[in-house]
Structure 1
Amino acid sequence: MKKLLNTLFVTSEDAYLTLDGENVVVNREKQVTARFPLHALAGIISFSYAGASPALMGACAKRAVSLSFCTPRGRFLARTCGVSNGNVLLRRTQYRTADDPPQACRIARMMVFGKIYNARWSIERTCRDHAMRVDTETLKAASAKLKALLPQVQAETDSGSLRGLEGAGAAIYFDVFDRLILNHKDVFSFTGRSRRPPLDPCNALLSFAYSLLANDCAAALEAVGLDSYVGFLHTDRPGRQSLAADLMEELRPCFADRFVLSAVNLGRFSAKDFEVQENGAVYLSENARKTFLQGWQEKKREEIRHPYLEEKLSWGMVPYAQALLLARYLRGDLDDYPPFLWK
């Protein structure tokens, strides 16, 4: 299993990254502000418009260090890639499977099953832990509806209908999401999912979490030799890492959403941590992004027991574990792709 190394988050909008020997150097206004040993990093995510030097990009590609660029608001822009060292036979199998609708749907339905299952258990966990503070009857009703979708997902053989079931599950889940928020409802009330741009503080947090999770999933898929741009649930689109979008679906409710809910309920953010643009878009401030990223990195180091592998591993390793399981299925080592099922 890949070792969980540090991820370097560069949050200053004017930071330019360069390479000095074996070190990543952060420069601002032509002055060196920090340096980090490259060998200690698993990835670098830059939220700066200034970019990075070609030498650093080459060094990251050579050492398999993921180097990703996002806007200061968290929207993914690009990742650097070197010469692919993935198993060519594995990728050829991935492409053939993606072009075979029944086979693609077989993998996609397991991912959708995992998403709906985990959404249900996120609701159930809130009912269990905070029964005296929430509308248990409404939440239990939503949980029952999600449970009823699971056998339909398992039986579905058409990709279009499967996406319809996924959308129905998401609608049920987000319809009660506001009831999972226990504190600071004056700031973080949730009336519906909005993105590109997010229109309220809660959606700003969710969008930022999803950007980070998508990047982690893309890095995991590339690390095991898969093509993160060719998916089974999400169709091909120029510039979209469709397989990363597939893989993150089952991890949204149990990792990204629960992280945001914990941060809000524990009071880690307040109204002053958000900036409202003229078009109504709401984004985290620079200091808030730093707080978010620090908590995200801490969350990734928390240990859990993987439900399929039955081994202890950190949350940060879950995307790698799922990417490995997907690769094993495509190679024929497993009868089905086992989604991550959380409780």
Structure 2
Amino acid sequence: MSSLYLDRKELAVKLDGQALALYEAGQKKGTVPLHLLDRVIVRGNIQLESRVLGALTQRNIGFLVLSGRSTEATAMLAAKPHGDAVRRLGQYRMSLSDEARRPLAKWLVLAKLRGQQRLLQDALAARPDLRKPLTGALNTLQGIGGTLRGDAFGVSLSELRGYEGSAAAACFGAYRHLFADSLNFTGRKKRPPPDPVNACLSLGYTLLHYDAVRACHWVGLDPMLGFYHDVSFGRDSLACDLMEPLRPLMDQWVWHLFRERRLRAEHFSDDKGRCLLNKEGRQRFYGFYESQVGSARRLLRRYGYALADRLRPEAEG
């Protein structure tokens, strides 16, 4: 199974039997059999037959629409929900209990810490000239991890978020040194992303978040009820939870894209302070993302199934 990225102006998509037919300026350019697809990612203003959405839903093919002006998702179809509603009952009960949420949240923060440490250790091996900032951040992460692992009474959710925030600040404080000064990357900035690194991080996190939403639906959990992120209007809190340990992996992929010069300054443009990937840059990003993300998607489902198994006895009790 594979992903289909549709990122071209004047493109129309129609259903042609058991395939998607692609039209450009009224001319048929090709077809893609539905049985080969696992997800379809659309960017910008593409014409779509309503029958296409029905066919994708029937075959459990995901569908994500990205804004043409930013890297944010504007619409999505995830997957058919799992039929076992008992899992969701257990999730609803867990979401109301800080005692039930705390051990899961602690595991998540420690898993993210391990990912951040791997990222910085790999960076140190590749950039020994940056030993001072990288080892400083590694020492901070090691200290936070030791504190959390040694805690016998259980820190509160707000304290866990404080530790996670301190770890993220330390990691990004060192991470920014990995990029050329010409990229103007000084730290994580989201809306709008002002530089090429932030533009790539935002796009990558959006794609990874969608894969996390799909994983939630696949295993029968509500993506909006998390255990680390509180319930917030319009936020897929559980999807945010599941992808949190994988953020350092995305950070590493973005570093490699620039380190290996797969992406360069000519692949970006500035639009009133918003940094945008151009068409060639997006193609390069999509290709690299798909070449790397398979293991992350499997991990997301593994996390989801592990959580669902943990919730079921609670729901039946």
Q: TM-score, normalised by structure 2?
A: 0.91
8 Å CA contact 1:106–1:157 kept in 2: the answer is: no
Return the offset for 1:67.
1.0
| Aligned ranges 1:123-272 → 2 under 5 Å | 123-131=120-128, 134-154=129-149, 155=151, 156-181=154-179, 185-253=180-248, 255-272=249-266
Fraction of identical pairs, as percent: 28
Structure 2 unaligned runs (5+)?
Answer: none
* 1:293 equivalent in alignment to 2:291: no
Quote the Cα distance in structure 1 between the aligned partners of 2:223 and 2:13: 25
Which of these residues, 44, 62, 65, is aligned with residue 40 of structure 2?
A: 44
| Count of residue pairs brought into register by the alignment | 310
8 Å CA contact 1:86–1:224 kept in 2: the answer is: no
Return the offset for 1:244.
1.1
Return the offset for 1:319.
1.8
2:90 counterpart residue number? 93
Which of these residues, 282, 290, 297, is aligned with residue 275 of structure 2?
A: 282
Quote the Cα distance in structure 2 between the aligned partners of 1:33 and 1:99: 52
Higher deviation after alignment, 266-275 or 7-16 = 7-16
Return the offset for 1:171.
0.6
Return the offset for 1:82.
6.8
1:61 counterpart residue number? 57
> For the structure 1 residues 52 and 232, does the alpha-carbon distance in structure 2 shift closer, same or farther, using more than 3 Å as the test?
farther
Q: Which amino acid aligns with 2:161?
A: R
Q: Which amino acid aligns with 2:120?
A: I
> For the structure 1 residues 215 and 100, does the alpha-carbon distance in structure 2 shift closer, same or farther, using more than 3 Å as the test?
same
Return the offset for 1:295.
1.0
Quote the Cα distance in structure 1 between the aligned partners of 2:181 and 2:155: 44
> For the structure 1 residues 85 and 121, does the alpha-carbon distance in structure 2 shift closer, same or farther, using more than 3 Å as the test?
closer
> For the structure 1 residues 318 and 187, does the alpha-carbon distance in structure 2 shift closer, same or farther, using more than 3 Å as the test?
farther
> For the structure 1 residues 235 and 54, does the alpha-carbon distance in structure 2 shift closer, same or farther, using more than 3 Å as the test?
farther
Quote the Cα distance in structure 1 between the aligned partners of 2:94 and 2:12: 40
Return the offset for 1:79.
1.3
* 1:331 equivalent in alignment to 2:292: no
8 Å CA contact 2:79–2:217 kept in 1: the answer is: no
Return the offset for 1:128.
2.5
Structure 1 unaligned runs (5+)?
Answer: 302-313, 334-343
8 Å CA contact 1:15–1:48 kept in 2: the answer is: no
Secondary structure of 1:213 counterpart: helix
* 1:107 equivalent in alignment to 2:104: yes
> For the structure 1 residues 285 and 112, does the alpha-carbon distance in structure 2 shift closer, same or farther, using more than 3 Å as the test?
same
Return the offset for 1:81.
5.4
Quote the Cα distance in structure 1 between the aligned partners of 2:241 and 2:204: 16
Return the offset for 1:268.
0.9
Q: Which amino acid aligns with 2:256?
A: S
Secondary structure of 2:224 counterpart: coil
| CA deviation vs aligned residue, 1:300-341 (integer Å, no higher than 9, x gap) | 35xxxxxxxxxxxx34422222222222222359xxxxxxxx
8 Å CA contact 1:187–1:201 kept in 2: the answer is: no
Return the offset for 1:250.
0.3
Secondary structure of 1:226 counterpart: coil
Return the offset for 1:52.
3.0
More helix by share: 2
Q: Which amino acid aligns with 2:203?
A: F
Q: Which amino acid aligns with 2:171?
A: Y
What is the RMSD of the two structures over their aligned residues, measured on CA atoms?
Answer: 2.0
Quote the Cα distance in structure 2 between the aligned partners of 1:118 and 1:195: 21
Quote the Cα distance in structure 1 between the aligned partners of 2:253 and 2:240: 18
Secondary structure of 1:78 counterpart: strand
Return the offset for 1:121.
1.7
2:20 counterpart residue number? 24
Return the offset for 1:49.
2.6
Quote the Cα distance in structure 2 between the aligned partners of 1:151 and 1:25: 55
| CA deviation vs aligned residue, 1:13-39 (integer Å, no higher than 9, x gap) | 443333221112233333333321111
Quote the Cα distance in structure 2 between the aligned partners of 1:13 and 1:231: 37
Return the offset for 1:299.
1.4
Higher deviation after alignment, 122-131 or 37-46 = 122-131
> For the structure 1 residues 265 and 203, does the alpha-carbon distance in structure 2 shift closer, same or farther, using more than 3 Å as the test?
same
Quote the Cα distance in structure 1 between the aligned partners of 2:52 and 2:83: 21
> For the structure 1 residues 172 and 234, does the alpha-carbon distance in structure 2 shift closer, same or farther, using more than 3 Å as the test?
same
Q: Which amino acid aligns with 1:285?
A: N
8 Å CA contact 1:51–1:69 kept in 2: the answer is: no
